[in-house]
Structure 1
């Protein structure tokens, strides 16, 4: 599978950008360029306005990213915005053509230098039948060019069918029917391409094509294909055509133009203050500025965002948009009259309330309200929390929408279990391995957590041999047993957990799942999420068992105390981390540390029974 589309920003980066991290926003935009460029380029058939539409798409991504409710849906959301901009362009073009009827209209003339079929053949070095497929796409109906831009990326592994359906606003079944029809058109066009290139050519075909001007079009595809179907000579040429799907499988996306890729992050670029993005087709004299123009999409065009600079404007997206990412993002973020989020971008907990779609210019009184809406709470059997008693604990637990909880004990004294929520008992240390505790654990449910941080003196403080000797008593409960939850180094060779698992295997002891704790000291969301993911993957690769992550948060332990990030940082991490956990099939459950929020425990979810913290609101919306 091609890596280009999959190289889109991960969830952590999207969350950080959504929370206002300028560098993350720059990276999100730059990483999104290749997919947007391929979608728009194919949908517009290499028209000279491709750069304009790509640029407008990125501006909307920047402006409406804070209103993206689910960071894991970023790619689907990005594709939908790109298709929306393509459709807006098509509508404006039709209006312009009707207005200019009778004149020498050039709106529908593709740019020969940017024809996507030709560039695909040239840049990807396509040969034989793949070349014919690329050439055949020039003959499609206009309505199918948009579908082709998405289906091509689906076949090359860049996007999924559900993302195609979401972008087009159709059901997967309807998309399948349209794709089938489009593939038939491409197959017909392949026959035309092959017959026209055959040497010696068919005299009857040459007679049919006598009035053709050499420009591929749906009308001439139908005329020429009709002859090919009825001609024994031409029809035979298509007998060896391979299925289109096989030819496209594994094909990479078209690389960005050199002028654009040269300015991607990591290369030298002019400073943000010197960069302005103007219409790609404009040529502005040095020292002059752009003329602001109304944007039919509802928000200001890139020209509206452009500023004056001494040496004129960057003439095109390919020459400047990536180098000017910082300028674009800054201009969009600080623009005082920023329109509200579109109706198709669901608001997150920290986003302005959407007032009008981008096609409607908001009135001065329709500005986003200062009160941020709260994201809807989501119940999930995977989502858990560590709970210790405090005033209102039972009310807070119910409001958290956790699907399970534990108390580092075999009981939950003083805490009522909400309906639909599961209590999971724990045998915390060696002193808890007693008949009454084991009986309570067995009665509490099918799962049992075991020795809490045995590698820490202030916690269970157990040797590996001691834990192994007591393990048969835990197995006798019949419960599904989680491994001892070490504080650190679960993936380390010869670490505490590694030695325990090796000893358990040697003694024939049963361990049903691995229990982990993780506290990240890096308060940057993308880095923290990536570190957590790497840790989980390393543990799974070592033991090949399901994982329960029973304590995790951002807490830095240094200088003899615990340091916490700002609540907004903690909330951003929780949102991104839980989304990432949902992508790891071997992570069966997770539990945040923890439910109460006090001056000491500032990663908590609730400061009282009814008052959720910023982290608590993020937890309520997590799955």
Structure 2
């Protein structure tokens, strides 16, 4: 949502207010829903939050801070509700566990069902039931940060803590979440450990923080149950790119104008709000048994003057819409191999498709049929020293003509030797992994002047190396005398204490050299906000290390029971906005789209053959001016 929209809404523009309310209802619902675990009070708290946001909007001094301001109001309402519950412990979930919007579908169930979570992602959602109130409140923010819906500054502001204190609290909460995941695994294990069964004998079946501690203690101490702690993928990797849980209801024509209903802009509306009309409308979010959408993040669409409101989802037929609507925010979940259990899963709004080595194309699993859009005329090609392409030998002899046509200034193929020699297009060699470093370095030095190092070492499906292993090999890379890029992490290069931070700390401590930072980013939010999310990630990394940036893989895609791509229009719009952004950032030296070749219609590929660009390719071909 642009600052201009906030300013217009603050000044009384009804359409701007409608758009603001429509966009932020899902975010507020997710914050409150996760913090309260889908309790029956969710609709009341969301209602009060939205009323306070709209009521306070005219007094908002800094429109650019609207998002963090709205999140802070939501958390304040959650805390107020908690204080009321503590003062009156005989109501709500403190007395009667059946007092919920739907005893069979709490917020974890909503996440699992409507986002179609599987494997360890489902395990994390189930584990949230075992957290105490403070940790659930914190998780509601951190989950959205990991999913790219909030940034750390917004989380810190909502918590009213220093950045350092917030980091400590988040680490503690993540430890509790991992303990809860171990409990979930132990409960699901078959056959179940007899001693664990004995501990469960007096358990009433309700997940609580106290029982989490008891059961987690057993899993740590028991030789049979301690396997529950193995192969546990970091929660931020599982949550990264996960969309908002869709708002589970359908507004009817009675909600003729959302903004007017909230603000009382028309006669009698304020009385309707105070009389419970808006509350009833919000309550139906939770009460609706068959929401009008399937599983993915929803966007509230205000349709026409009749005011009918629908829930729009990616890849699903919708009623005729007469008003323009923002796109949804589907989740992203690149696949990862794992031991227990096997699943498709993510690694951040920043995750690469990592189920196969980079020499392979993304999964050809089923995906929604992309919208058919005809390109009227091929836009003129634009040459740029920044613009690059990633490719491999699967494109064969088509590499050379496609690289020339797309007007790339450089290319790479995850290898120390090029798949094609293209006059005027620089080849940048890579040492992909740690298996044959000496031989790869010799080839790389013969084929280029700049070296890319170690592809996604933070993932076991890729080069799979610890920071220590990379650091031990680093002197060999430095000895080539080539300009030297960092390893390219799959995600989390801006995370304190993460894989990449450990590597960069070791570089400083040992006095080694890194000339620029290589990054990967894959966005699961297919809305217009994707470019801002990418920019935020790059900016955070640059602010932390103050080195030039190479974005060597990026695109929009997510993985959920197969690879899912946005529509062609969404992908093309993202290319147009992201390349303009990257061209304008002085500290971004180079960027490269994933991937040069197209393996099937609707994927991210730039060319279907050596000379015919896809719609995505036509947009990338014209980028860089």
Both proteins in one fold, TM over 0.5: no
Query: When the two structures are superposed, what TM-score results if normalisation uses the length of structure 1?
Result: 0.43
Structure of higher CA gyration radius = 1
